[in-house]
Amino acid sequence: MSIQSIASSTQHNKTDFNQTLPLRIATLVEVRAGKAMPFAREQMSAIDKAPVKAPVAVNFMGLTTDEQADRRHHGGPLKAVHQLPTATYDKINAEFGLKVRIGTLGENLTTEALDDLPEMNEATVCIGDVFQYGDIDTNDSVQLRIVQPRRPCYKINDQIGQFTKVPNIAAWVSKQGIAGWYFEVVRDGMIAANLPVYLIERPYPFATLSRLWQLSNSKEKFAIDIIEPWLAIECLEESWKTVLAKKIRKD
């Protein structure tokens, strides 16, 4: 059963959904971390991530070997780990005629779908999803919960701008809603490439990241019954709720 079909079925019967899980959906292809280094505009950044070859510990702040130079806007418990679909690079490169490599945009995790299941991307993962990266029957496998999409910032422009003069790719990525997502850490543990990835919980099957981007980017207003379920998601980071609350139509 695909992630999307699971989501559809659970809208009608949450009990059946819970019985379906855990479900292995992917393999963790790469784990990446970065060190803060001199960057554009006379600042420091760890946006460029390199593969980690040995298992690395993950705690509530993220990978212990990963750095964030700007702690105000990056890192922390609600941005502990970043995952980005590799398709984002394919789309950027196709749109702008570039050859931006994986790891350039700051992601920590890269996965590959299992068998005929869909890839983990903004259309197939939801706010509140909990994933386990590691064997299902071990207690030291990391568990991560999606709490918000990533908001692309100017550093994406500066990072890609080292190789090209294409302006404001960050705005294009944001409009497309393909910036990946941030996890909070549900359970500490060790993480490494080639581990199995399991979907453990899906409490909000309606709350895909693509739908969140669609609502947030829309110039339209929406009926309160469309927005209210999002505001009731306890784990959704507060700034996104603020954006959504402003989208409620005043009838």
pLDDT value for 164: 64
Which residue positions in the chain have pLDDT lower than 70? 1-19, 37-42, 44-47, 69-74, 161-165
| Count of CB atoms situated within 10 Å of the CB of 67 | 17
Over the range 104-122, which residues count as b (16 or more CB within 10 Å of their CB) and which as e? bbbbbbbbebeeebebbbb
What residue spans define the domains of the chain? 3-206
The predicted model scores a pTM of 0.88
How many other C-beta atoms can be found within 10 angstroms of the C-beta atom of residue 168? 13
In this predicted structure, what is the pLDDT of residue 156?
79
Given this model, what pLDDT does residue 221 score?
A: 96
Residue 156: closest CA among 166, 146, 141: 166
Task: Identify the pLDDT of residue 46.
Answer: 66
Contact call for residues 64 and 83 (beta carbons, < 8 A): no
* Distances 178 to 87, 92, 98, 135, 204 between C-alpha atoms, Å: 9, 10, 17, 28, 20
Q: How far apart are CA 3 and CA 165, in angstroms?
A: 38
Q: For residues 227 and 248, give the distance between their C-alpha atoms in angstroms, rounded to a whole number.
A: 7
Domain 3-206 has CATH 3.30.70.580: no
Cα of first residue to Cα of last residue in the chain, in angstroms, is 41
- Tokens matching residue 244: 């959504």
